[in-house]
């Protein structure tokens, strides 16, 4: 069992035992919190991690997205560059596209190279390509490369097999799954060009949800989530590898509440009929309240996940 923090070398201040609850095996896994940087992490990385990513794991399951409707396209264009006038604005107001807005704000052009690390079946990569971006993805858990319109868009590969350079390297809820965050951060620094950016979206233990639910916090997701970064621990890790944190934007939603309430009631995420917000455990008003509370937490920097933008220094 590891006695030192893998992020900063600090010592544990608290230990916890969390259960596997996505599939409901209820196996126990030990975690500890670092007294120094606050990172919550698994005590021992399971030797058989692949066993916890079965073929129906959500990011590896399902097909690629359909061609976007004109409404979605207009919403995306408006979010990205304010194109499309009033109609574009209206479409965006109905279905905001946070990701396209972020790409616009970061100044990512459509012909800039984008890498999605831990892309699963490549749904996000496909969507970006549908909107005209030059995106590709890698994921070590794929059993075969994924093609779209005759081009390979997602490869079964790890970070060290990629050359770059990229204008944008993205980790959408994949970074917390990587056994060696230092190696991943170093690879991201190597892959991103001088005026590029790294986008890391992760769950965070610097949140009300972790404090309120503890080991029932849905995004602890033992044993797949090896590291639940505190805001401080991610900053230290980034700065240790030649980045500065340019921006942190909380993007949590009601899942932190309804998912954690399920685990607190001993209901696995994938139990029949339990998935999605239609769970009979919760009333519509309760679910609405949690969405509202999530927006308030995001505004206060207390949500249970965030998007960090890192810039090379
Ligand atoms: Zn630490």
Q: Report residue 308: phi and psi, to 5°.
A: -105, 135
**Which pLDDT value is given to residue 1?**
52
Task: State in Å: Cα 229 to ligand 1 middle.
Answer: 9
**pLDDT one-digit tens code per residue, 98-114:** 888 999 999 999 999 99
How far apart, in whole angstroms, are the C-alpha atoms of residue 112 and residue 38?
A: 36
Number of DSSP helices (H) and strands (E) in the chain, helices first = 9, 12
**Which pLDDT value is given to residue 60?**
67
**Which pLDDT value is given to residue 171?**
97
**Which pLDDT value is given to residue 29?**
97
Q: β-pairing, 12-19 with 28-34? A: antiparallel
What is the DSSP code (8-state) at residue 144? Answer: S
What is the DSSP code (8-state) at residue 164? Answer: -
Task: State in Å: Cα 12 to ligand 1 middle.
Answer: 8
Task: State in Å: Cα 204 to ligand 1 middle.
Answer: 14
Task: State in Å: Cα 122 to ligand 1 middle.
Answer: 32
How far apart, in whole angstroms, are the C-alpha atoms of residue 104 and residue 107?
A: 5
The pTM assigned to this predicted structure is: 0.92
Task: State in Å: Cα 10 to ligand 1 middle.
Answer: 5
Please report, in tens digits, the pLDDT of each residue of the chain (313 residues total).
558 999 999 999 999 999 999 999 999 999 999 999 999 999 999 998 888 887 777 666 667 888 888 888 888 888 888 887 888 888 888 888 888 899 999 999 999 999 999 999 999 999 999 999 999 999 988 889 999 888 999 999 999 999 989 999 999 999 999 999 999 999 999 999 999 999 999 999 999 999 999 999 999 999 999 999 999 999 999 999 999 999 999 999 999 999 999 999 999 988 776 655 466 788 889 999 999 999 999 999 999 999 999 999 9
Task: State in Å: Cα 215 to ligand 1 middle.
Answer: 19
Cβ-contact 166, 196 below 8 angstroms? yes
How far apart, in whole angstroms, are the C-alpha atoms of residue 181 and residue 164?
A: 19
Task: State in Å: Cα 176 to ligand 1 middle.
Answer: 15
**Which pLDDT value is given to residue 59?**
65
Task: State in Å: Cα 194 to ligand 1 middle.
Answer: 28
Which tokens hold the place of 65?
């997205």
Which tokens hold the place of 48?
């058989």
3-state SS, residue 306: strand
Task: State in Å: Cα 304 to ligand 1 middle.
Answer: 19
């Amino acid at each position: 069992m590891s006695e030192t923090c893998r992020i900063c070398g600090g010592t544990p201040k608290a230990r916890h035992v969390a259960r596997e609850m996505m599939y409901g095996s209820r196996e126990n896994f030990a975690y500890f919190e670092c007294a120094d940087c606050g990172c919550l992490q698994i005590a021992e990385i399971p030797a058989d991690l692949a066993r916890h990513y079965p073929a129906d794991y959500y990011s590896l399951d399902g097909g690629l997205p359909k061609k976007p409707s004109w409404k979605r396209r207009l919403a995306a264009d408006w979010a990205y560059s304010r194109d499309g006038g009033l109609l574009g604005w209206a479409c965006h107001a109905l279905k905001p596209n946070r990701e396209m807005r972020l790409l616009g704000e970061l100044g990512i052009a459509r012909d800039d190279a984008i890498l999605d690390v831990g892309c699963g079946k490549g749904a996000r990569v496909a969507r970006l390509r549908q909107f005209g971006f030059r995106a590709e993805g890698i994921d070590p858990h794929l059993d075969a490369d994924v093609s779209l319109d005759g081009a390979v868009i997602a490869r079964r590969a790890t970070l060290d097999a990629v050359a770059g350079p990229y204008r944008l390297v993205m980790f959408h809820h994949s970074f917390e799954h990587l056994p060696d965050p230092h190696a991943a951060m170093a690879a991201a620094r190597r892959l991103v060009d001088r005026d590029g950016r790294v986008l890391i979206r992760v769950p965070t233990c610097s949140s009300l949800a972790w404090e309120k639910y503890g080991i029932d916090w849905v995004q602890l997701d033992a044993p797949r989530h090896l590291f639940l970064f505190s805001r401080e621990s991610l900053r230290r890790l980034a700065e240790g590898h030649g980045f500065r944190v340019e921006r942190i934007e909380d993007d949590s939603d009601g899942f932190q509440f309804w998912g954690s309430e399920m685990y607190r009631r001993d209901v696995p995420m994938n139990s029949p009929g339990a998935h999605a917000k239609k769970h009979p455990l919760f009333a519509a008003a309760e679910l609405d309240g949690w969405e509202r509370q999530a927006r308030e937490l995001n505004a206060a920097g207390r949500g249970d996940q965030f998007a960090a933008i890192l810039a090379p220094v």
